[in-house]
Chains A and B, each alone.
Chain A
Amino acid sequence: MKSLKYCLIIVSMFSASICVAGAAEPLIEKAEVARLKAAEVGFEWSTTSILIAEAKQAAEDGNNELAEKLANAAIKQAENGLKQAAFSAAHWQDSEPR
């Protein structure tokens, strides 16, 4: 019974570590999808793909906290690119000489 208890503890610790390592991945994927959306309308920022690459590297290195932070920053940039596209579509004529 005691050995079974140890076994369960070891298994749960192992699975928890796997979960921590993979926690940033959905965010990185989300960032990639957001980046592609911005690229589709021609308003991708050149810094976004760098952030995503750095997030991937951090996740690989086991630095999950940093990976999440970088992925979130990339998502924010891609969203700003889309906002910029919408703003430009509505206001580009404001800058024309009259």
Chain B
Amino acid sequence: MRKIITLTSMLVGFVFLTACSDNSPPTSTEKTRNTEKAKPAVAAKPVNYQGKVDQDIKRFRSFYSNKFPGVELDNFKDGIYAIDEATREQWLEIEEFPPYELSIDEGQEFFEIAFANGKSYADCFDNKGQAIRQNYPYFDNDSNQVITLELAINQCRKTNGETPLSYGQGELVAISAYMANSSRDQKFDIKVPNKAAYKAYMNGKQFFYSKRGQLNFSCADCHLKIAGSNLRADRLSPAIGHPTGMPVYRSAWGELGSIGHRYRECNKNVRAEPLAYQSEAYRNLEYYQTLMSNGLVVNGPSSRK
């Protein structure tokens, strides 16, 4: 009797399991569902950040081409002297015996002095630091920030156990001038490789167009909207080409200064509290401005009024 019960329960179990397992052909809806499951996930189309920036560059350039139709694009590297014929001749004469020449020589001396550990600046840079200015600033994926040439010079010092130099003017700017001089006529070729770089670019762009200070002026107000107009005795330079001639010897300063030094001065002019040298905001601004000047050649150091 016990055997019969056992065999019966086994038979019932077998029938139940067979009924539950679905061997029937799938319906059309099920087919679709299964196909959807089996379909490999479609990879999101990568965003072309450089493409977006290139569109901006195009618009930026055509603005200046329309505003100054007689000026060749390549000539915007000369700053205000590209659009001001009256002072251009004087400037060209000044450039024959430029006031920054001694600073280049000094910069070379500083550049060649070996650090205490025996290494030198040449060990920190590609191509031993020669003809590389056109690649700065760049976005560094490891540290997730924009690296300017001046910042890289000080990073080199820190890496080699040296104390960093002060930004703005002096020894560091002389080194930067020497490196820029070795890069003359190289075309700026700055890249925006990824989302993080694009964010830095957008921050720089926002800074450029944001009004600041008691006078409520943005960089764009002076150097885009009313570029070429007179502000007291000075004509306002176009923003395109600003970074190519850096560092710059300004007669008003009586010495060379970095682009950061100029940013601080511009901020002071509109009665905005200037930011710290090499602050993230200024580095992003330099990144944005240099990207807008992509394709122009390095002609730094340069001299301006």
Q: Complex: how many Å from CA A47 to CA B267?
A: 12
Q: Complex: how many Å from CA A46 to CA B214?
A: 8
Residues in B224-249 with C-beta less than 8 Å from chain A? 224-225
A residues near B211, Cβ cutoff 8 Å = 84, 87-88
B residues near A77, Cβ cutoff 8 Å = 214
Q: Are A45 and B209 in contact (CB under 8 A)?
A: no
Stretch touching chain A among B39-47, B77-85, B272-280: B272-280
Most buried by A among B212, B220, B268: B212
Cβ-closest chain A residue relative to B66 = A97
Whether, in the assembled complex, A93 has its beta carbon less than 8 Å from a beta carbon of chain B, the answer is yes
Q: Are A46 and B60 in contact (CB under 8 A)?
A: no
Q: Are A95 and B212 in contact (CB under 8 A)?
A: no
Q: Complex: how many Å from CA A43 to CA B213?
A: 7
Whether, in the assembled complex, A2 has its beta carbon less than 8 Å from a beta carbon of chain B, the answer is no
Q: Complex: how many Å from CA A77 to CA B272?
A: 11
Q: Complex: how many Å from CA A47 to CA B63?
A: 34
Q: Are A42 and B281 in contact (CB under 8 A)?
A: yes
Q: Complex: how many Å from CA A96 to CA B59?
A: 9
Q: How far is the CB of A40 from chain B (nearest CB, A)?
A: 12
A92-B209, A96-B59 as given contacts; A44 in contact with B225, CB under 8 Å: no
Whether, in the assembled complex, B158 has its beta carbon less than 8 Å from a beta carbon of chain A, the answer is no
B residues near A42, Cβ cutoff 8 Å = 275, 281
Q: Complex: how many Å from CA A84 to CA B221?
A: 15
Q: Are B62 and A97 in contact (CB under 8 A)?
A: yes
A residues near B103, Cβ cutoff 8 Å = none
A residues near B213, Cβ cutoff 8 Å = 45-46
- The answer, among A48, A92, A97, for a CB contact under 8 Å with B59, is A97
- How many A-B pairs have beta carbons closer than 8 Å: the answer is 57
Cβ-closest chain B residue relative to A85 = B210
B residues near A95, Cβ cutoff 8 Å = 209, 218, 220-221, 224-225
Q: Are A98 and B59 in contact (CB under 8 A)?
A: yes
Whether, in the assembled complex, B206 has its beta carbon less than 8 Å from a beta carbon of chain A, the answer is yes
Most buried by A among B216, B221, B273: B273
Q: How large is the interface on A (under 10, 10 to 19, 20 to 34, 35 or more residues)?
A: 20 to 34
- The answer, among B63, B210, B268, B273, for a CB contact under 8 Å with A97, is B63
Whether, in the assembled complex, B128 has its beta carbon less than 8 Å from a beta carbon of chain A, the answer is no
Whether, in the assembled complex, A63 has its beta carbon less than 8 Å from a beta carbon of chain B, the answer is no
Q: Complex: how many Å from CA A41 to CA B136?
A: 27
Residues in A42-92 with C-beta less than 8 Å from chain B? 42-49, 77, 84, 87-89, 92
Q: Are B273 and A45 in contact (CB under 8 A)?
A: yes
A residues near B52, Cβ cutoff 8 Å = none
B residues near A44, Cβ cutoff 8 Å = 272-273
Q: Are B210 and A47 in contact (CB under 8 A)?
A: no
Whether, in the assembled complex, B195 has its beta carbon less than 8 Å from a beta carbon of chain A, the answer is no
B residues near A98, Cβ cutoff 8 Å = 59
B residues near A89, Cβ cutoff 8 Å = 206, 210
Q: How far is the CB of A95 from chain B (nearest CB, A)?
A: 5
Whether, in the assembled complex, A39 has its beta carbon less than 8 Å from a beta carbon of chain B, the answer is yes
Q: Are A45 and B271 in contact (CB under 8 A)?
A: yes
Q: Complex: how many Å from CA A54 to CA B214?
A: 18
A residues near B275, Cβ cutoff 8 Å = 42
B: residues with CB less than 8 A from A are: 59-60, 62-63, 206, 209-214, 216, 218, 220-221, 224-225, 267-268, 271-275, 281
Given A42-B281, A46-B271, A92-B218, 6 more A-B residue pairs with CB atoms under 8 Å apart are: A46-B213, A46-B267, A89-B206, A92-B206, A96-B209, A97-B62
